[in-house]
Amino acid sequence: MDPATSHESRATGIAESPHKGKTGFQRIWNAFFYSLEGLATAFRHEDAFRQEVFFAALLVPAAFFMPASGIGKALMVASVLLVLIVELFNAAIEATIDRISLEQHPLAKRAKDIGSAAVFLSLLNVPAVWLLVLFG
């Protein structure tokens, strides 16, 4: 196996992406900019993500003014950021399914519904955490 031309894992023999060639600081640097591009893309194309960013822009600063301990404030902020993270995963799942096929399929519906349910649970988590921190 020629390491210069092969993109197979030596341990498994499974082909990997030819784009995974960067290592060290260059990989970290590239990943940083890919992440920023992902956030910008989600903001540009996903209505739900934009709405959740708006609420996060209100709730995250508000958490710092609440009568809670440092850990409580951290939990409050984390609960809000979790919504954004889960929404990003949901958007990625939906985009992948739509890339594969726009045809109506029970498995595509199942995957999209499950992603939506994950977002819903993360949204329910926000008031639960905030109420527990503030009044629990």
Q: Known catalytic residues?
A: 87
Q: Which amino acid is at 120?
A: F
DSSP 8: B
Tokens of 60: 């995250």
Q: How far apart are CA 60 and CA 79, in angstroms?
A: 10
> How far, in Å, CA of 122 to CA of 131, rounded?
15
> Residue length, the chain?
136
Q: How far is CA 104 from CA 86, 108, 122, in A?
A: 24, 7, 27
